[in-house]
Amino acid sequence: MEGIVIKARGGAYEVQVGKRSYTCSLRHHLIEAEKRRLAETKEMPYVDLVAVGDRVSISTAAPTSGTGYIEACLPRTTQFGRTRMDGWRQVIVANLEMLLIIFAARHPTLKLRMLDRFLVTAEASDVEPVLCINKLDLAKFENVQRELNLYEELGYKVVYTSIVTGFGIDKLREVMQNRISAIVGSSGVGKSSLLNALQPGLQLRIGEVDARIHKGRHTTTEVMLLPLEFGGFVADTPGIRTLGLLEIDDEQGLDIHFPEMHPYIPECKFAACTHQHEPACAVKRAVETGNISTLRYESYLRISGFKEGRYERNPDKRRTNRTARRR
Ligand SMILES: Nc1nc2c(ncn2[C@@H]2O[C@H](COP(=O)(O)OP(=O)(O)O)[C@@H](O)[C@H]2O)c(=O)[nH]1
Ligand SMILES: [Mg+2]
Ligand SMILES: [Zn+2]
């Protein structure tokens, strides 16, 4: 049988197969095979061999037993996670397809700088970001749309919603249907209300945990996938905001995660241009001529600063990575 891991804890995996779920453990041969692979490739190990979101094939002693073994783990399409300080790779959610970034049109105010950070995080993990602007009833549609115009022009999907009027809820359901998504957004933007509108009773620990227990800590609490009645899963990731931008690869560069910079990057004089202080920088020129938004460029600078001045590159590696890159 083939299923999807919706929960992982201390070597026990809950695997959803259709409407049923099975508590499974890993077959030892999987662990041995991974050890051999690591010895051959010299890659850094994974914290967990199987993660929430992984598609696995399982066997059960008896179909009615509710327990079984994970026999194989299918290749991942995406890995949303981070590299730990010790170099081990930690996958928070495997096969994540969408990062739903929620903001309120008002109360709290739209924070577009924070949006840029979430977008970079999604781009870096190859996960599609979708923006959801909630509380549309508190603002004028035209005004909100004008603010988001830049992002729509960049090709990002924007969904406008209101819990009060019910506007956009169907659209949001449509966007989430049959996909694995994760939700991010500050406290008070309406995450809980939206989920409850999508499917009554649907509750995430996100936000609540962020606000109180997790303040300033870097622990990632247990991730779970919640099955959606209309198809798909939403990841309940209480610690997701602490992930920040840890998963961005320095060698690949930050610029690659700003789609509007793509056409200009090859035009820069220096292959390893950081678009900050270098002469003959095509990106800076594009900012001056208005082809790249100043606000977005400022976000780029802020995010590179956020990476604690360690933002340097190896030009050789960069060239090879460039060609291997998707999109
Ligand atoms: N006017 C308005 N208020 C909303 C909307 N969605 C949520 N709220 C209110 O905003 C507050 C925060 O919502 P909540 O779902 O708890 O936000 P969370 O912290 O992101 O989970 C609550 O008082 C909600 O009733 C909306 O679309 N319009
Ligand atoms: Mg909430
Ligand atoms: Zn440049």
Q: Cα(293) to centroid of ligand 3, in Å? A: 15
Q: What is the pLDDT of residue 317?
A: 38
Residue located via tokens 């700003």: 258
Residue located via tokens 């201390």: 10
Q: Cα(188) to centroid of ligand 2, in Å? A: 7
Q: Cα(82) to centroid of ligand 3, in Å? A: 27
Name residue 126's amino acid. D
Name the residue of 138, 193, 236, 241 whose CB sits within 8 Å of the most ligand 1 atoms, as the mutation to test its pocket: 193
Domain spanning 2-75, CATH class: mainly beta
Residue-wise pLDDT tens for the chain (327 aa)?
Answer: 999 999 998 889 999 999 899 999 999 999 999 999 999 999 888 888 999 999 999 999 887 889 999 999 999 999 888 777 788 888 889 999 999 999 999 999 988 888 998 898 888 888 999 999 999 999 999 999 999 999 999 999 999 999 999 999 999 999 999 999 998 888 889 998 999 999 998 877 654 444 444 444 445 567 899 999 999 999 987 766 545 544 555 556 889 999 999 999 999 999 989 999 999 999 999 999 999 999 999 999 988 875 544 334 433 434 333 333 333
Q: What is the pLDDT of residue 1?
A: 93
Question: What residues does each domain of the chain span?
Answer: 2-75, 98-243, 255-324
Q: What is the pLDDT of residue 246?
A: 47
DSSP conformational letter for 46: B
Q: Cα(7) to centroid of ligand 3, in Å? A: 44
Q: Of all protein residues, whose CA lies closest to atom 3 belonging to ligand 1?
A: 135
Strand partners, 128: 98
Is 218 strand, coil or helix?
coil
Q: Cα(165) to centroid of ligand 1, in Å? A: 12
Fold (CATH) for 98-243? Rossmann fold (3.40.50)
Q: What is the pLDDT of residue 293?
A: 95
Q: What is the pLDDT of residue 174?
A: 97
Name the residue of 163, 187, 206, 210 whose CB sits within 8 Å of the most ligand 1 atoms, as the mutation to test its pocket: 163
Q: What is the pLDDT of residue 112?
A: 83
Q: Which atom of ligand 1 is nearest to the CA of 207?
A: 19
The number of the ligand nearest the C-alpha atom of 283 reads: 3
Alpha-carbon distance 46 to 54, whole Å? 14
Q: Which residues line ligand 1 (CB under 6 A)?
A: 134-135, 137-138, 162-164, 185, 187-193, 207
Q: Cα(220) to centroid of ligand 2, in Å? A: 18
Contacts by residues 294-299 (CB-CB < 8 Å, ≥ 24 positions apart):
295/112, 295/113, 295/150, 296/116, 296/150, 296/258, 296/260, 298/113, 299/113, 299/116, 299/117
Alpha-carbon distance 163 to 39, whole Å? 53
Q: Which atom of ligand 1 is nearest to the CA of 136?
A: 27
Q: Please give the span between the terminal C-alpha atoms of the chain, in angstroms, as a whole number.
A: 34
Domain spanning 255-324, CATH class: mainly alpha
List the one residue out of 129, 92, 127, 74 whose CA is nearest residue 225.
Answer: 92
Whether the CB-CB separation of 247 and 81 falls below 8 Å is answered with yes
Whether the CB-CB separation of 208 and 184 falls below 8 Å is answered with no
Q: Of all protein residues, whose CA lies closest to atom 11 belonging to ligand 1?
A: 188
Torsion from C-alpha of 262, 264, 269, 274, nearest 10 degrees = -50
Q: Of all protein residues, whose CA lies closest to atom 2 belonging to ligand 1?
A: 135
Is 149 strand, coil or helix?
helix
